[in-house]
Every structure is written in C-alpha cells, then in structure tokens.
Structure 1
Amino acid sequence: MFEVLAFGLFWAAMATWLDILGTEYGKWSYPFKLNNDIQTLLPADTAVIPVMFMLLYQYTSTWKSFVIGSVISAAVLSFIFEPLFLMLGMLDLKEWSHTKSFFAFIFLAIATRSLFFFIKKKQTTF
C-alpha cells in the first residue's frame, strides 16, 4: 500500500510541477481559477491524474497491461477532459496540443513505473 501511495504522491508532485512549468512558459493557461493565487488546476494535478495512474499501477501486473491502460488513460485525459475544459473556459491552450498531452502522459506513466521498479529492485538488494 505504501508503494502505491508513494507512486501517487510522485505523480501529484510531477503533475503539479509540470503544470506550473507549462503555465509559466506560456504553453497553456487557466482563465477560470478556483483561487487567484494558484495558477494551476490543482484538483486535476493532485487527485484525478494521480489516482487514475495509481489504480493502473496497483491493478496491472504486466508491462503490456500497464501500457495499454496508460494509453487509454492518456486518451481519456487528453481527448475527453482537455476538450471539455476548453469548452467550459477552464483551459486555454496556447502553444500546446491534445496530442502532445497524450504522448506526455504515456511517457510519464512508463517512466514513473520504470523508476519505481528500479527503486524496488535496489531495495531488495540491500
């Protein structure tokens, strides 16, 4: 359980950090903010995205199933939720596209799982 929580915390930190970078570098913005002091969409960064990938991490036992689940999750986030946020005026894409988000989610999912497997392997050798 601790491993899955750590995986989710890592995703939350990474999603928040990348969201801050994207807004600071003008790739996208959030015209509608829950709090004017926060430039990102924190509920998505700290809850929706991490929980989605935590469930994948917990319930997939092979790389094949994880990658397939990651592709499906990336498609849902990039091609369903992002356009919905655009329609609702919650997101404004400037120098970014849904396709870039799609591939970024897949890359980050595979990289994060690889990192956690590497850490687990190193732990067992001590």
Structure 2
Amino acid sequence: MAMTNRKQSNWSSSKRKVTAAYRKNRDIVRNRDQGICVRCFMLTGRIVLASDCDHLQNVNSGGTDDLSNLWMLCKDCHRSKTQRESNGLIGFDPIIDYDTGWPIPEMDWKQVISERNREYFKPKSFSL
C-alpha cells in the first residue's frame, strides 16, 4: 500500500478551521500574556504555564480571532471553560479560595484583555 503525503490540517480539535489571523494573533497573544495563564494569575497570583490560546467569546457564538478576543489559559482553565461551553453554559468552574473556602469572583475578562492590549501596544519611549 502506497503512503501519501498528507498536508498538515488547518482544523483544530473542535473541527473549526484555524484561520491565518488566529495563527498570527496566537503568537502575539502568547507574547502579550508572557506564556502564563491569565485567569490563574489574575485571580490567585499563581504563575501557571499557559498551553492554550483561547477565545473569550467562542467563535461558534460570534467571537472573532481578534486580539481583543484571545487570551492564554492553562490546560485546567481551558478544559473547564470548554466543557461548560459544550453544555450550553458560559464561564468557568469556580476557583476556591483555600483560606476562606469561598469561590473567588470572576473578573470582567474583556476589560482585563483590553487593558493588557493597551499596555502591550503602548508606544515605548526611548531616551538618548
């Protein structure tokens, strides 16, 4: 049986076509978020390696591949969000504050990403 060369697929595991804009912006977002999970860091102060570039608003729900809709998440946060979305829910399973036993309130993630973009793309001043 002859082997054929297969072109690398442009489809993600969710069967959604990965666009050129997503591939380009994924690298920018990885740098902007410094390779750490934004949610873990902002809610708990923990530095957790981010493995997934995620859409704040799912593409199937009208989200885009724009920088304002992308952020880096660790595997646990991404899995939690994806499972809830697949069940028609939004958001995440809560992170529990171990000192109080209460869930840590979620942030306005669109605002957080907007501020991160503003800071990342702010013109740098140079002095001679």
TM-score range, shorter chain: 0.3 to 0.5
Larger Rg computed on CA atoms? 2
Larger relative CO (CA 8 A, sep 6+): 1 or 2?
Answer: 1
Q: TM-score, normalised by structure 2?
A: 0.36
Q: TM-score, normalised by structure 1?
A: 0.36
More helix as a share of residues: 1
